[in-house]
Amino acid sequence: MGTVPNRYREVADVRAVVQRVSQAAVHVGGETVGAIERGLLVFLGVARTDTLADVQYLARKIVDLRIFEDADGKMNLSLRDVRGAMLVVSQFTLLGDCRKGRRPSFVAAAPPDKAETLYRCFIDEIEQFDIPVASGRFQEHMHVALVNDGPVTLLLDSTKLF
């Protein structure tokens, strides 16, 4: 796989955009390949330097995020607490580096074989928490439809940069 140049190390981490949704679906070629009702839509980007530990950390973090409202209207409940579902969509563009020029560089993104393995490991980790999981199709052109509840959208990464 080679090494990642130092200038890209700071952006090399599993990244996720997490959206609280009342419903979400992903379509490939007009076919619905994954859909959920109340829960979380997670766009997942895997970096060259990522490991299983990064994926496991992020899975636990997301499942236990207290971002659903309790009876008092406070964000105090997790996905497990509300018995929600998760839709996971692979998105290598989360590793795009736009700091130089006008065209994003994706050199920090994991190659497809590694990215797909860790993407599937992330889904397996979520399922171990007894969370219903739907997913997109890896390396396919997808259309994602969602109703963001709140809206609530969070950025997470395995190296805790944000």
Q: What is the pLDDT of residues 79-136, one digit of tens each?
A: 999 999 999 999 999 999 999 999 999 999 999 999 999 999 999 999 999 999 999 9
Letter string b/e over residues 75-110, b meaning 16 or more CB atoms within 10 A of that residue's CB: eebbbeeeebbbbbbbbbebbbbeeeeeeebebbbb
Domains of the chain and CATH, by start: 12-157 (3.50.80.10)
Can you give the pLDDT at residue 160?
77
Can you give the pLDDT at residue 105?
95
Beta-bridge partner residues of 32: 27
Can you give the pLDDT at residue 161?
75
**By the 8 A CB rule, do 85 and 130 touch?**
no
Q: What is the pLDDT of residues 123-148, one digit of tens each?
A: 999 999 999 999 999 999 999 999 99
Can you give the pLDDT at residue 12?
56
Q: Known catalytic residues? A: 91-93
Q: Which of 109, 18, 108, 104 is nearest to 67 (CA)?
A: 18
